[in-house]
């Protein structure tokens, strides 16, 4: 139970990677606050975490809305105390609306950039002062292999995920002396709501390009989160871990 007496926050925790991460951090001993738009999924995650014996606070919030983010972190501080670990995980491409660059609307760009990049900065801003003061903190963000590979129709998403890596490195440098680490995880194709919504030919093409010949499981990303949050990762900052079954190797 390496995270006993720690408080973690996971965004986008109503399903997929966020749910697996929240559950894993609770199994590691942390009390966990989970944030998402999807209230039903959030409640399911809360029940799963309660099964571990740890405290869990579920807050429904829209991460596109800064006021909603501030109110959410205030509620978390009032209920669970200071945040030690933040997993910025909510995100995704413009579902069903992915378009070639000239055809993507400005609204699509704003939404994808705001959810995948600006909300990461907004959530981090809510906890970084306290972490600095207490000289302890772990910021972990879900980026994507798309930050490296790119893909037609994903200019907005790839730009946002690459932006996370720049944010991670710069913040890590700013905050290193305060014992706050800042790292990112770059998942490959992971079986979640995002892949469930992909057309079959897209899935088959993805599978053919994965050296390990299968999609990853959300729990395999949660292991990486658990590592970055663990005492064993105390000297690891400003970096990323690709968890992609070898997909970026060719």
Ligand X SMILES: NC(=O)c1ccc[n+]([C@@H]2O[C@H](COP(=O)([O-])OP(=O)(O)OC[C@H]3O[C@@H](n4cnc5c(N)ncnc54)[C@H](O)[C@@H]3O)[C@@H](O)[C@H]2O)c1
Q: Which residues bind ligand X (CB under 6 A)?
A: 12, 14-18, 36-38, 41, 62-64, 89-92, 115, 142, 144, 187, 189-190, 192-195
- Indicate the residue among 49 and 189 with the shorter CB distance to ligand X: 189
- Indicate the residue among 235 and 249 with the shorter CB distance to ligand X: 249
Coil vs helix vs strand at 31: strand
Q: For tokens 């409640």, what's the residue?
A: 43
CB 148 within 8 A of CB 186: yes
- Indicate the residue among 211 and 232 with the shorter CB distance to ligand X: 211
What order of strands is seen across the sheet that includes strand 85-88? 56-60, 31-36, 7-11, 85-88, 137-142, 180-187, 240-243
Question: What's the rounded Cα separation, in Å, for the pair 84 and 91?
Answer: 22
157 is catalytic: yes
Give the residue at shortest CB distance from ligand X: 16
Burial 207-220, CB ≥16 within 10 A → b, else e: eeebeeeebbebeb
Shortest Å distance, C-beta 128 to ligand X? 20
CB 24 within 8 A of CB 225: yes
Neighbours of 185 (CB within 10 A): 25
Shortest Å distance, C-beta 46 to ligand X? 13
Q: Looking at 157, 178, 235, 240, which residue is catalytic?
A: 157
**Cα–Cα nearest to 35, from 101, 132, 122, 136:** 122
Checking phi first, is residue 81 left (phi over 0); if not, alpha (psi -120 to 50) or beta? left
Shortest Å distance, C-beta 51 to ligand X? 19
132: enclosing H helix or E strand: helix 119-134
Neighbours of 3 (CB within 10 A): 24
Shortest Å distance, C-beta 136 to ligand X? 25
CA-based diameter of the chain, in Å?
A: 51
- Indicate the residue among 6 and 161 with the shorter CB distance to ligand X: 161
- Indicate the residue among 163 and 187 with the shorter CB distance to ligand X: 187
Shortest Å distance, C-beta 135 to ligand X? 29
Catalytic residues: 157
């Amino acid at each position: 139970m390496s995270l006993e007496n720690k408080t973690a926050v996971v965004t986008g925790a109503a399903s997929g990677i966020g749910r697996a991460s929240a559950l894993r951090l609770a199994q590691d001993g942390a009390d966990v606050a989970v944030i998402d738009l999807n209230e039903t999924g959030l409640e399911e995650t809360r029940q799963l975490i309660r099964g571990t014996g740890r405290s869990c606070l579920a807050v429904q919030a829209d991460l596109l809305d800064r006021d909603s983010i501030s109110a959410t972190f205030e509620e978390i501080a009032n209920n669970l105390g200071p945040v030690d670990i933040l997993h910025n995980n909510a995100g995704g491409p413009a579902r069903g609306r992915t378009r070639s660059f000239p055809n993507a609307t400005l609204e699509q760009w704003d939404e994808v950039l705001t959810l995948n990049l600006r909300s990461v900065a907004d959530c981090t801003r809510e906890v970084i002062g306290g972490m600095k003061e207490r000289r302890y903190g772990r910021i972990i963000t879900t980026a994507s292999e798309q930050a490296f590979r790119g893909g037609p129709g994903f200019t907005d998403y790839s730009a946002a995920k690459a932006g996370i890596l720049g944010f991670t490195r710069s913040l890590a440098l700013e905050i290193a002396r305060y014992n706050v680490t800042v790292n990112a995880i770059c998942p490959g194709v992971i079986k979640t709501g995002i892949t469930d919504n992909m057309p079959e030919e897209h899935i088959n093409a993805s599978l053919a390009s994965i050296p390990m010949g299968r999609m990853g499981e959300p729990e395999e990303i949660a292991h990486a989160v658990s590592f970055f949050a663990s005492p064993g990762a105390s000297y690891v900052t400003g970096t990323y871990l690709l968890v992609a079954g070898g997909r970026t190797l060719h």
